[in-house]
Amino acid sequence: MNRNTSHINPLESEAIYIFREVAAQFERPVLLFSGGKDSITLVRLAQKAFWPAKIPFPLMHIDTGHNFAETIAFRDKLVADHGLELIVRKVQDSIDAGKVKEESGKYSSRNSLQTTTLLDAIEEFKFDACIGGARRDEEKARAKERIFSVRDDFGQWDEKSQRPELFDMLNGQIKLGQNVRVFPISNWTELDVWSYIEREKIEIPSIYFAHKRKVFLRDGLIWSHSDYVFQEEDEEVLERMVRFRTVGDISCTAAVLSEAADIESVVKEIRNSTLSERGARIDDKRSEAAMEKRKQQGYF
């Protein structure tokens, strides 16, 4: 089906503009890469922004260790195919160093532990700009996020003293020790990202497409059966045809029932979906203000 995707052109131009501003205004930028569709889209946009030169900054993956195997295989192939520079920093190392404590129990996840590893890596490499794939349509607190969002030495977000952003002008001036989080696809919706992946024929990990998986049901969500996910004895393992709408740590990403096995069917499914993307994020369900609290603490 040849759908009209021309409304993505201004969004693409905006993202490319933002990437070029980052390269020009900062000394040590880094692209935070999770292996999810949003950060994969960022890589394509960065390639477009600097072609025929290479992307002038590295990618960094904050690895919880609780990954979908498909995501890691995909990440390594992408890096090799495009000659990208990849830095990996592991949450396990932060745990071993005694900097964070592993959560325990039914809802334990390493998702929030990533923050410490991220902040340590920013300090280690002296990154002054961290580019991420967050979008304003994802969540209410993110709707107020700037494109250039200044964080203090502790990585904290102060939502009350954000810099106004007028016209296209991005102010990246910071003091030593501060850094900026940059969100080039702030104004994209989930459907925009999917339509773009379809239009540009961007490769994404196979778990975004329908596949058979061992799962169990809890609180109305479909959880992956995995060594990394705590499971009660009475929570029965089932085999279901599922796919993932967002991909994060395996312990905080729920699956959706789906038969959509290719990009065209996925776009169609998203178009007709009545559930929001983060509706399948277990980490957001903790409380209504979950995201805002994590952001204040330095989470992406």
| Footprint of another protein (CB under 8 A) | 4-7, 9-14, 16-17, 20-21, 23-24, 47-54, 136-137, 140-141, 143-144, 150, 159-169, 171, 173-175, 186-187, 189, 191, 273-276, 279, 288-289, 292
Min. distance of Cβ 71 from another protein in angstroms? 25
Smallest separation (angstroms) from another protein to the CB of 15: 8
Cβ(237)–Cβ(214) under 8 Å? yes
State the minimum distance, in angstroms, from the CB of residue 30 to another protein: 18
Q: Which is nearer to another protein, 63 or 138 (CB)?
A: 138
d(CA 217, CA 152): 40
Alpha carbon distance 194, 274 (integer Å): 16
Q: Which of 6, 10, 4, 5 is nearest to 185 (CA)?
A: 10
| Nearest residue to 42 (alpha-carbon basis) of 6, 78, 66 | 78
Query: Of the two residues 69 and 257, which places its CB atom closer to another protein in the complex?
Result: 257
Cβ–Cβ under 8 Å, residues 53 and 20: no
Nearer to another protein, 163 or 218 (CB): 163
Distances in whole angstroms, Cα of residue 268 to Cα of each of 210, 257, 259, 283: 13, 14, 11, 26
Q: Which is nearer to another protein, 2 or 9 (CB)?
A: 9
Report in angstroms how near the CB of residue 146 gets to another protein at its nearest.
9
CB of 99 to another protein, least distance (A): 28
Helix (H) or strand (E) holding 90: strand 86-90
Please report where in the chains the tokens 């085999």 appear, as a residue. 239
CA angle 222/223/226 to nearest 5° reads 150
Report the residue number, 110 or 181, with the smaller CB distance to another protein.
181
Rounded to the nearest whole angstrom, what is the least distance from the CB of residue 2 to another protein in the complex? 13
Closer residue to another protein (CB): 63 or 139? 139
